[in-house]
A = this chain, B = another copy of it.
Amino acid sequence: MTLISINCDECPIYRKSIFFGIDEQDMVELDNRKTCYYYKKGQIIYYEGKGALGLYCINNGKIKVFKIGSEGKEQIIRMAQPGEVLGLRAVISGKPYSASAAALDNSVCCFIGKQRFFKLTIKYPQLSQRIMITLSHLLEGADNKITSLAQKSVRERLAESLLALDQVFHSNKSPDGNIISLSREDLANLVGTATETVIRLLSEFKHDQLIEIKGRKIRIINKPALFKIGKTFTS
């Protein structure tokens, strides 16, 4: 975790972030006061249960947001990408982080203290609006995940998760398609199953020529079939 320097106006995802549209002066202040960190693959950004001092804006990389279940097993709640913000729920509610966040790749996140953040929300109503919309989207995603976990088989959920990951890993382009790179364990913790079960199902998908596997790199080669297996109607 190394300190680095990044200016918002040079940030490729700034205009997709919730902060887009604040005036020159506030942006300069934000740039001066925020602290940007470089995280190596695997490093923890924050821990579940700890007080939230602010939020993290993802500049680069892929982040997993996860909770630890009662038996100590990880459950990945969601995958987050550049332009998304981490810790919003905790900062808004004033409660500790209800999940941990860790870098799946080498990543960069910028920390914004909550006082500064709240000041901006007061000054910019559209920021509050975007926060509400962001929370709404997260909630919709979580409700879908609940329904999926409760009703779908592991096989169906794995197909679904591979398709969702395909979106997250869109920066890992190969000539013909995105490449998902994730440990089997992380994949199991995302799908909500045992690692062995994921491995077996991946072999099956590979045998059926739905995916290609090279080590931990997975490429989807038959999307429509996976959509069918996953019973997924949203792209």
Contacts and interface: CB of A to CB of B under 8 A. Distances in A.
Interface residues of A, number: 41
B98 A143 contact: yes
Chain A interface SS verdict (over half): helix
Contact of A69 (B77, B122, B142, B150): B150
**Number of copies of this protein chain within its complex:** 2
A211 interface: no
A11 interface: no
B150 A192 contact: yes
Nearest to A93: B136
Contacts of A138: 139
A151 B73 contact: yes
Contact of A150 (B75, B125, B132, B140): B75
27 contacts: A67-B144, A67-B146, A67-B147, A70-B152, A89-B136, A89-B139, A89-B140, A92-B132, A92-B135, A93-B136, A93-B140, A98-B144, A99-B143, A122-B125, A125-B128, A128-B132, A132-B132, A132-B135, A135-B139, A139-B142, A142-B142, A142-B143, A142-B145, A142-B146, A146-B146, A149-B149, A150-B193
Closest 6 CB pairs of A and B: A150-B192, A142-B142, A69-B151, A70-B231, A135-B135, A93-B136
